[in-house]
C-alpha cells in the first residue's frame, strides 16, 4: 500500500543521507496544503498527519523555490 511505500522511502532517504529524520510531504491541490504523509526518525514520526500552507516556514520555502534545504539541527 502507498503508506508503507512512502514510509520505506523516508527510511531509505534517512539512511542514505545519514540524517536523524526525514519527511515526505505532499501537496494537496484541493486545499492548497502541504501534508506530511510519512516520516522516519522519532521526531519526524510525530509530524505525520500535520499540514501547513506553501506560504509558511521551511516547508513552504522549499515548495515555493523548488530547492532543497538542509539544516544542522
Write out the H or E segment, with its range, that includes residue 5.
Answer: helix 2-17
pTM for this one? 0.83
Within 8 A by CB and 6+ apart from 8, the residues are none
Q: Is the separation of the CB atoms in 2 and 24 below 8 Å?
A: no
> What are the per-10-residue average pLDDT scores of the chain (73 residues)?
95 93 94 96 90 92 89 71
C-alpha cell at 62: 522549499
Amino acid at each position: 500500500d502507498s503508506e508503507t511505500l512512502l514510509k520505506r522511502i523516508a527510511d531509505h532517504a534517512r539512511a542514505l543521507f545519514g540524517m536523524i529524520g526525514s519527511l515526505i510531504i505532499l501537496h494537496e491541490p484541493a486545499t492548497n496544503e502541504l501534508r506530511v504523509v510519512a516520516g522516519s526518525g522519532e521526531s519526524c514520526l510525530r509530524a505525520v498527519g500535520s499540514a501547513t500552507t506553501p506560504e509558511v516556514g521551511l516547508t513552504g520555502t522549499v515548495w515555493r523555490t523548488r530547492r532543497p534545504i538542509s539544516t544542522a539541527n
